[in-house]
Structure 1
Amino acid sequence: MRRKILLLDTGREWGGGTNSMLELLKRIDRQRFDITCCFYNNYSRGNSETIESILNSIGIPVVFIAQRRQPKWAKIAKELLRTLFIFNRSLKKQMIGRVDEKWRVLPNAQQISSLLQAGQYDALYMNNQPSTNVEGYRAVEDLQVALIQHCRIEPQLNSVLVDMVNKRVDAVIAVSHGVNQTLRQSGIDAQRCFTVSNAIDIHQALPDRKAVRARLAYSPNTFIFGSIGSLITRKANHHIFQALGQFKRIHPEANWKMVVVGAGPEQENLVLLARKENIASNIVFTGFQNNPLDYLAAFDTFILASSSEGLPRVVLEAMLVKTAVIGSNVVGTAELISHNETGLLFEYGDIKQLSAHLAVLWQDASLRQRLINTAEERVRECYAIENYVAGVETILDNSIERKTHV
């Protein structure tokens, strides 16, 4: 019998986790799994594609739970709590969470529970992380369905969340060994934690570097640094700009550009920072682009400076198209970048170290080539999309099977 699965995604923006989910849904065995998606937001990406349109194109039905605006009483209550508990951050967060649970979490949980019962689903499969999927846990409290949590970023967990997960979840899928370790160190039952590493399609047609650079009008003599992703604080593009400022002061003779692919709330701050660092003429903001592989192929060096990740697909993609990578030494990124072997690592926030790495890769073409060769080989050997899909399918199947025999 086909397993009926309701996939819950409570996100608000299209990120790497969204792409990983879509790659799974495109390839999952439809003879074994009957999947319906449940989203809160029909978010879109820059070319006007929406989640709904993409899911429709691959034959996956989707329903949306409309999100109501925060009522006035909840807003007032939270402001009062912030004042009352100004010196107790933990208690303040806990009390505000109770307000959110009453006006937002429980109503959503009731709707999710109704969907599960009406559709006679075998499992609820959640696509974010425990702190943003609380309503899913509430929805299945009294239901005999399997609960699977896909944890796509290093999670933030407290004792309440840990107890909630251990009480009800059947499996937590970590996208990297580092995320798995964080889950277990936080108190999640190790027997519930499984690692299925993010992966990419290693067989896809890849862009030609020279052709892409010519189309984008990048001079062969210009060294292209680049980043791709949402312009949000966690991605720490401000650290890249500060490091580039140091790089320019030390190497005023260098001919370079920094291409920033993506959009988000931090762009205005980054524009101001570029002026402050005297690098505004070197910075190119492209906005969102739906052909990230082309840009990755055009870069000489890709930089990911995030404060946290899960297992960043964009690093795998950069390695696949033979672009040198610099990354912050955080969970997920450090799992992909072996320092001085498949790329260069710097300690998160260490501007001086990042600037030195920029200079080394700008100067040393032989080092870049060595890193590129090793990284591409590692990706093709260890991170094929087929392994990712098979791993998730096995966990879904086993979790439902165990639940039916409880």
Structure 2
Amino acid sequence: MKSNKKKILLLDNGEEWGGGTNSMLELLKRINRENFSITCCFYNNYFRGNGESLDMALSSLKIPVLFIPKRKKPQWVKIIQEFFRIALFFSKNLKIFFISYVNMQWKILPNAKKISSLLILGKYDILYMNNQPSTNIEGYIAAKKLNVAVVQHCRIQPSLNKKLVKMINENCDMIIAVSHSVNVILQKHGVDEQRCIVIPNAIDTHQSLPDRFVVRMNLKISPKTFIFGTIGSLIARKSHHHILQALGKFKKINSSSNWKFIIVGTGPERQSLQDIAFRENLHQHVIFTGFQNNALDYLSTFDIFILASSKEGLPRVILEAMLVNTSVIGSNVTGTAELITHNVNGLLFEYGNIAQLTKYLTRLYNNAELRMKFTRAAGQHVRKHYVIENYVSGVESIFFQVYKQDK
């Protein structure tokens, strides 16, 4: 007897454990196994802070996982791409076109062929892609001539061009935007409105909240010490350097204040950030913890959480900070501005405006009553609008909607 379960191949080409990974796992924990059978396909078996790998996390959920081996870029590709970078210095568009063409030939098309074979051999009904369109091109190509529904989860402000939008409109059955602002960007670039739906990121609002003093005790920080904090990959997009620069100014204004700044995360910008902390004379105040699996423990320890990113989708970390009653300050960018209503449940500063960020750090540092007002409003907001059950049921409804029954 044929199973009525919809077979889904989940494709994710991420390289590190982040908010998108956690959102994916929250979905897989809760998805109805009687209706859906999911297999995951990844390029990288990355790790999180406690040594747990991606395949270990999926194994604990009894989710099968496949890996497409990541190919090392051949020397000929490096030479050709470098040639185009130099030879086409006069035209950015031509340079991008030819470098992308080479990338398509050696990487994207071979991966598309492997994904297509997996879809055929596994007799999958749906290809569900967990990143954003520009990083999932091989999935669109793989499913193009197959009777397989395609669902794209767009988890960050997308990078789009006319060719990619055409590919989406021709080959994608539904694209899930994690925020209304991401949805606006998709449609502004020409993605068909009927293919777009907003299903906001969400968190488990019923979970027990951590003790605010556990991390302080582990780090030997006095209960009287004020803690600024941020959590995120140490990459350029997260703009942690803006926070350090603002805290450098904050220190000059509040020279006798007792505070620490905790940075939770790992990534290629760590040495640069440590250098900035030293130049700003903050090395006695700043603590780099590396990747930590227990993000909520750290968020609950912070008095103020800051997210200074240049772009986001709908950052789970802000939802989590709001849940544990920590005041939030965020850059006024896609996603973040959808969660923070300025002067109601937090503060928004214009991206890169160090003076404004410094002003807000000082304002909240000196006003416990205002922090309490913001956290009260933020907690209510999260529990009303961003519960995990709505997120899961929303994604499930899309799977039912796109399922092609004439296979």
| Range of TM-score over shorter length | over 0.9
Amino acid at match of 2:405: T
Greater mean alpha carbon deviation, residues 159-168 or residues 83-92: 83-92
Displacement of 1:280 in angstroms is: 1.2
Q: 1:209 & 1:83 partners in 2: Cα distance?
A: 54
Match status 1:404 vs 2:391: no
Displacement of 1:212 in angstroms is: 4.3
Displacement of 1:210 in angstroms is: 3.5
Question: Which residue, out of 70, 83, 87, partners 2:86?
Answer: 83
Question: Which residue, out of 147, 152, 166, partners 1:149?
Answer: 152
Match status 1:174 vs 2:177: yes
For 1:263, what is the secondary structure of its paired residue? coil
Displacement of 1:276 in angstroms is: 1.0
8 Å CA contact retained: 2:205, 2:323: yes
Match status 1:92 vs 2:95: yes
Match status 1:348 vs 2:351: yes
Amino acid at match of 1:306: S
Q: 2:124 & 2:97 partners in 1: Cα distance?
A: 32
Match status 1:241 vs 2:244: yes
Greater mean alpha carbon deviation, residues 209-218 or residues 317-326: 209-218
Greater mean alpha carbon deviation, residues 68-77 or residues 313-322: 68-77
| Match in the other structure for 2:274 | 271
| Match in the other structure for 1:366 | 369
Displacement of 1:405 in angstroms is: 5.4
Question: Which residue, out of 165, 171, 176, partners 1:162?
Answer: 165
Q: Which runs of 4+ in 1 moved over 4 A?
A: none
8 Å CA contact retained: 2:327, 2:346: yes
> Between the two proteins, what is the percent identity of the paired residues?
59
Calculate the aligned-residue CA RMSD, in Å.
Answer: 1.0
Question: Which residue, out of 295, 300, 315, partners 1:297?
Answer: 300
Q: 1:266 & 1:58 partners in 2: Cα distance?
A: 33
Q: 1:270 & 1:280 partners in 2: Cα distance?
A: 10
Scaled by the length of structure 1, the TM-score of the pair is: 0.98
| Match in the other structure for 1:67 | 70
Amino acid at match of 1:103: W
Q: 2:391 & 2:345 partners in 1: Cα distance?
A: 21
| Match in the other structure for 2:207 | 204
Q: 2:346 & 2:330 partners in 1: Cα distance?
A: 8
| Match in the other structure for 1:8 | 11
Scaled by the length of structure 2, the TM-score of the pair is: 0.98
For 1:226, what is the secondary structure of its paired residue? strand
* Aligned positions of 1:121-140 closer than 5 A: 121-140=124-143
8 Å CA contact retained: 2:214, 2:297: no
Amino acid at match of 1:342: N
For this pair of structures, how many residues does the alignment match?
Answer: 404
Question: Which residue, out of 214, 222, 227, partners 1:224?
Answer: 227
User: After superposition, what is the alpha-carbon deviation per residue over 1:273-310, rounded to whole angstroms, capped at 9, x for unaligned?
Assistant: 11111111110111111111111001000000000000
For 2:284, what is the secondary structure of its paired residue? helix
Amino acid at match of 2:17: W
User: After superposition, what is the alpha-carbon deviation per residue over 1:118-164, rounded to whole angstroms, capped at 9, x for unaligned?
Assistant: 01100100000111000001101110110000000000101111111
User: After superposition, what is the alpha-carbon deviation per residue over 1:226-263, rounded to whole angstroms, capped at 9, x for unaligned?
Assistant: 00111000000000000001111111121111001111
Question: Which residue, out of 178, 188, 191, partners 2:191?
Answer: 188
Q: 2:320 & 2:287 partners in 1: Cα distance?
A: 21
For 1:404, what is the secondary structure of its paired residue? coil
Displacement of 1:215 in angstroms is: 4.0
